[in-house]
Structure 1
Amino acid sequence: MALIALCLWVVLAWVLQTVLTARQSWPAAYGLIACGLPLVAWLWLSMSALWALLGLGVMALVLRWPLRYAVRWLKARLT
Structure 2
Amino acid sequence: MSAPVLMALIWLIAANVAALFPSRDHHWRFAYGMIAVGIPLLGWVTWQQGPIVGLLFLAAGTSVLRWPVIYLTRWLRGTKGPKSS
Structure with greater proportional helix content: 1
Q: Hey, what's the Cα distance between the residues in 2 that align with 1:14 and 1:49?
A: 24
Q: Which residue of 2 aligns with 1:5?
A: 7
Could you list the structure 1 runs, at least 4 aligned residues long, displaced by more than 3 angstroms after superposition. Answer: none
Residue segments in structure 2 that go unaligned for 5+ positions in a row: 80-85
Q: Hey, what's the Cα distance between the residues in 2 that align with 1:47 and 1:33?
A: 20
TM-score by length of 1: 0.88
* Residues 61/22 of structure 1: CA separation in 2 closer, same or farther (3 Å cut): farther
Root mean square deviation, CA, Å? 1.5
Q: Which residue of 1 aligns with 2:18?
A: 16
Equivalences for 1:15-54 in 2 at 5 Å? 15-54=17-56
Residue segments in structure 1 that go unaligned for 5+ positions in a row: none
Matched length: 77
- Asked if 1:70 corresponds to 2:72, the answer is yes
Tell me the percent identity. 32
Q: Hey, what's the Cα distance between the residues in 2 that align with 1:46 and 1:37?
A: 14
Secondary structure in structure 1 of the residue aligned to 2:31:
helix
Greater radius of gyration (CA):
2
